[in-house]
Amino acid sequence: MWSQICRDCLPIIPTEPNREDYQTVGYFTFQDSSIVKELTNVALLRYNICQNVTRRVAMKKILIAVMLSVFTIIGLAACSAQNSMLDDTKWFLRSYGEQNNLQAIIEDTEITATFNSAKSEVSGSAGCNTYFAGYEVRGSKLSIFEMAFTEMACISPEGVMEQEQEFLTILANAQSFQADDTTLTIFCSGGQQLYFTAATRIQQ
């Protein structure tokens, strides 16, 4: 008639044994049913403790799972919001170069970038020529590929062609970005950076 309630808990002992019957628990033998009842109560108490601990552990696991789900949703929402800031906006380059030593673009030149989400294509003016390329966004990661451009030559303002070549080279090596309603920063390999401001939101 013995049954184990839970690990490390005492077995349940029949609560109404015959007085003449001896009940054995471990290495001890009892004839007094009051002692048997007391041991039964202890076993039930330890069983309840086991159950409470099990419930608390289960609740803690559920709470952790819920928190992880919430953080994942928040992270995905943040990435989605940032992507929407990048896409379908016409951006104007203001400065470029090494992150701690950016240089402003040459006066009277215009360099732009428009990320068309419908076509997954970025295009714009490089200062003299028009360029276009494919792009892919994964979270805050940005990849530019298969770039092409027209091949005109501009002689003024001075340095415009060198500026154009630098811009296209840096853009082709894009790695990540950060964007909000008014600014876009593209981080590129070699510690290079492109800094844009927004002018026009493209209506799809």
Q: How far apart are CA 198 and CA 114, in angstroms?
A: 10
Query: What integer pLDDT is reported at residue 35 of this predicted model?
Result: 62
pTM over 0.85, yes/no: no
Question: Can you tell me the mean pLDDT for 76-80?
Answer: 42
Residue predicted with more confidence, 59 or 27: 59
Lowest mean pLDDT among 43-47, 55-59, 179-183, 200-204: 200-204
What's the Cα-to-Cα distance from 25 to each of 5, 37, 57, 133, 153, rounded to whole Å? 15, 12, 31, 82, 100
Question: Can you tell me the mean pLDDT for 158-174?
Answer: 97
Nearest residue to 41 via CA among 4, 7, 13, 3: 13
Confidence of residue 65 (pLDDT cuts 50, 70, 90): low
